[in-house]
Amino acid sequence: MLNIDFDKLIASFLYNPKEPLMFNSGFFLFLFSGFILIYVLLKKQNTLRILYVIAFSYYFYYKTSGGYFFLMAAVTIWDYYIGLSLSLFHKKSMRKFLVFLSILGNLGLLCYFKYTNFVYEHLCDFSGKAFTPFNIFLPIGISFYTFQSMSYTIDIYRKKIKPTHNLWDYAFFVSFFPQLVAGPIIRAKDFLPQIHRPLLVTRNMFGRGVYLIAAGLLKKAVISDYISINFVDRIFDNPSLYSGIENLFGIYGYALQIYCDFSGYSDMAIGIALLLGFRFNENFDSPYKSATITEFWKRWHISLSSWLKDYLYIPLGGNRKGKIRTYINLMITLLLGGLWHGASLRFILWGGLHGATLVIHKIFLGLFPFLKSTGNRMKPVQRFLGILLTFHIVCFGWIFFRAHTMDSAIAMMQQIATNFRPELFVEMIKGYPYVFLLMFIGFVTHYFPQGWKRWGIERTTMMPLICKALLLVIVIVIISYVKSAQIQPFIYFQF
């Protein structure tokens, strides 16, 4: 007779702050299996299907952030009615006021949860008062859904889209669970028209979805988590205890870790959306293949970089008001982009580094026109050297992004500069054989030609259904073999 612990069973369906619901958890696989069965049964019941997905999305968010799902509901209602109001008023001053209310509401909410303690700490430093942080919990995904919702009202104000007149459609757009907590940031103009299309998952969509889910799981739960727990975290937690060469490879490891973690989430989000009949734009395009820092920002976190370009850089004037103003606009955009990631001087420095290198790149393009060649038009040696330089600039920035404190970041750089000890390289490899094997696999596959990914998607698409299922089972077995005792949360959950 089965001995079922009903208290434990019920608890598994309730919010646990120590175990937020994630795509790479067995509980999500269990939930999604049940969800997809009912979703398919509602194929021709469009209204019921929309309400069903909204309900599941809100439950999904409850399992990641508890009762803070009411904030998402408030943002949804706020911007939905502002969007409707924008379509009713034609006077420019009134329209400006309405879009200002949308921006104020979204940014006010974001600033309260992310920056209250940051501002208060600096006020205490200035006044000499002891700093005691407020007990403010950062709801997972708030940085993403506020940006997503705010772009909707701005696009209506700019007359790029018309508002939806169905609150449920808008709630579906804001809360859609595959990309809810860590992106990609989707645009209303791309997503809303898909909601009422007949539910159709083509063979290509299904094959691509399975491939992306499998690839995302391997990136996150195998490569990223393993090298993080067994090497990267140890280095960044105590950089002074390790030699310069170990610190350097800790930085290389983090570069791979954050890419595999975040792009792995994006791959899974895009793949799950495809299985549900929705298409998202690509969010990562092999960013470490970039030969310039400008190219890097066209390949890294594409949905955020394009959002910052469209809703911050261009409104500031973009490159339309002369060179100096262009450089200032770039710096402002990247500094605020850094601050978006976290309320810390380290993130501001990270954004400032990227802004400064973008400015330097633009200056060099003006001085040396032959450098304007990009992509495959660059000479092989020029591109190789560009990739090498760009990768190390990005890695330098990752020091500030990952380090716990500025003192820790400085200690890491000091170890590399003064205590490098290259003779420890072989000993380091022997000490962490599986870490370096996974780092080797991760970087090598990252630099594979793009055609290899297309080939993988095509092969997966051509597989019989049983083979697709077997592929996912094999991936799950691999994950269960290498995973740690606890499932590691996605890095971008904290942003």
Give the distance from CA 415 to its chain's centroid.
30
Both 77 and 189 in a single domain? yes
List the single range of 25-34, 53-62, 480-489 with lowest mean pLDDT: 480-489
The pLDDT value given to residue 489: 72
Both 173 and 260 in a single domain? no
Both 165 and 256 in a single domain? no
In a domain, 97, yes or no: yes
pLDDT at 249 over 80: yes
pLDDT at 370 over 70: no
- Say if residue 11 is exposed, middle or buried (CB neighbours under 10 Å; 0-12, 13-18, 19+): exposed
Quote the number of domains for the chain.
2
Segment 160-166 shows an average pLDDT of 93
The pLDDT value given to residue 15: 81
Q: What's the rounded Cα separation, in Å, for the pair 425 and 277?
A: 49
The pLDDT value given to residue 103: 94
What does the mean pLDDT of the chain come to?
89
Q: What's the rounded Cα separation, in Å, for the pair 68 and 62?
A: 7
User: Any idea what the Cα angle at residue 333 is, between residues 328 and 339, rounded to 5°?
Assistant: 125
In a domain, 330, yes or no: no
Query: What is the DSSP track for 2-20?
Result: ----HHHHHHHTS--TTS-
- Tell me the pLDDT tens digit for each residue of 326-344: 999 999 999 999 988 888 8
Task: Indicate which residues carry an active-site annotation.
Answer: 341
- Tell me the pLDDT tens digit for each residue of 16-25: 777 787 877 7
- Say if residue 176 is exposed, middle or buried (CB neighbours under 10 Å; 0-12, 13-18, 19+): buried
In a domain, 311, yes or no: no
Both 182 and 236 in a single domain? no
The pLDDT value given to residue 495: 64
Both 100 and 212 in a single domain? no
Q: Range of 34's domain?
A: 15-199
The pLDDT value given to residue 1: 45
Q: Where is the domain boundary, 163, 179, 199?
A: 199
Both 76 and 189 in a single domain? yes
- The label of the residue with tokens 């696009």 reads 155
Both 208 and 167 in a single domain? no
Q: Where is the domain boundary, 199, 233, 264?
A: 199
Q: What's the rounded Cα separation, in Å, for the pair 146 and 190?
A: 17
Assess whether the previous peptide bond of 133 is cis (omega < 30° from 0). Answer: no
Both 129 and 242 in a single domain? no
Both 218 and 194 in a single domain? no
* 173 contacts 195 by C-beta, under 8 angstroms: yes
pLDDT at 371 over 70: no
The pLDDT value given to residue 484: 65
Q: Where is the domain boundary, 199, 220, 241?
A: 199
In a domain, 487, yes or no: yes
- Tell me the pLDDT tens digit for each residue of 299-327: 999 999 999 999 999 999 988 888 899 99
In a domain, 115, yes or no: yes
In a domain, 1, yes or no: no
